[in-house]
Amino acid sequence: MSKQKLPKEFPLQEGDKLTPSAKDFLLDRKIPIVADKAVVSNSVQLTIPVGVSNRHAHLSEYHFHLLFGDRASLTVLRSLSQPGQFAAYETVTIVGQKGVLQNVRILGPLRNHTQIEISKTDGFTLGVHPPIRPSGLIEGTPGITIVGPVGSVTIDTGLIIAKNHVHLSKADAKIFDVINGDSLIVKSNKRPVIFHDVTVRVQEEYQLEFHIDMDEANASGVNTGDTVRVIGKNRSLFSTILGDEQDG
């Protein structure tokens, strides 16, 4: 019969739980229980609620009136989590070379520039593949045709796949120890996916939320209201141990 050698120390990893008898066993034999340093420093878990954005349109005032008529105005359907932002009752149709997307929601208020945000999958439907861009950076992006109840307009540029990002208030930014333009590493739970370069956007009035598109939501199995866990920032992980956590 072979005798198993006892370890010199018992390393405790994230998620490990010792039963009282196991602890007594180790202590009786003077085997120290050591916790991984990184686990200790990461003991405060930071989580962020998720907001999934379906395809949508931001319209300029000029384009809105071309599509809906001179006297039309946007009607609030429901307000969004970011203060002042709302989903409008009005929708448009987006027309590409290969196909169309109907009932594309307009998000208000109206903006200086028209911007249409779609997913990569929507791009296959339309037959056009825009780049991934932060909102507002539309230079060099493809155009698209937008159809409303009164008229239609073809924009030269403004079709994007939105870059994922986190909205943080200044107070949240302090808690998360980040500044505007930093990048977070976050992990989903249900179907674990790591988003390793999530842009940090800080503004006083922002509501804490991780914004992803429908493709990213489907790939990671998350819905609006679920949470993701922050596991690192600026391309560096807090810990090399990826523990499993409760469903968020």
Cα–Cα distance between 142 and 167 in angstroms, integer?
26
| Residue (148 or 158) nearer to Zn ion, CB | 158
Residue among 99, 105, 66 nearest 85 (CA): 105
Nearer to Zn ion, 81 or 157 (CB): 81
* Shortest distance, position 8 Cβ to Zn ion, whole Å: 51
Identify which of residues 55 and 211 has a Cβ nearer to Zn ion in the complex.
211
Shortest Å, Cβ 152 to Zn ion = 27
Smallest distance from the beta carbon of 165 to Zn ion, in angstroms? 6
- Choose between 187 and 211: whose C-beta lies nearer to Zn ion: 211
User: In whole angstroms, what is the distance from residue 114 CA to residue 128 CA?
Assistant: 17
227-233 and 183-187 strand pairing: antiparallel
Interface residue list for Zn ion (CB under 5 A): 211
Cβ distance to Zn ion smaller for residue 48 or 153: 48
Q: Tell me the residue number closest to Zn ion, measured at CB.
A: 211
Considering the complex, what minimum distance in angstroms separates the CB of residue 23 from Zn ion? Answer: 47
When the beta carbons of 211 and 229 are compared against Zn ion, the nearer one is 211
At closest approach, how far in Å is the CB of 176 from Zn ion? Answer: 16
Least separation in angstroms between residue 81's CB and Zn ion is: 9
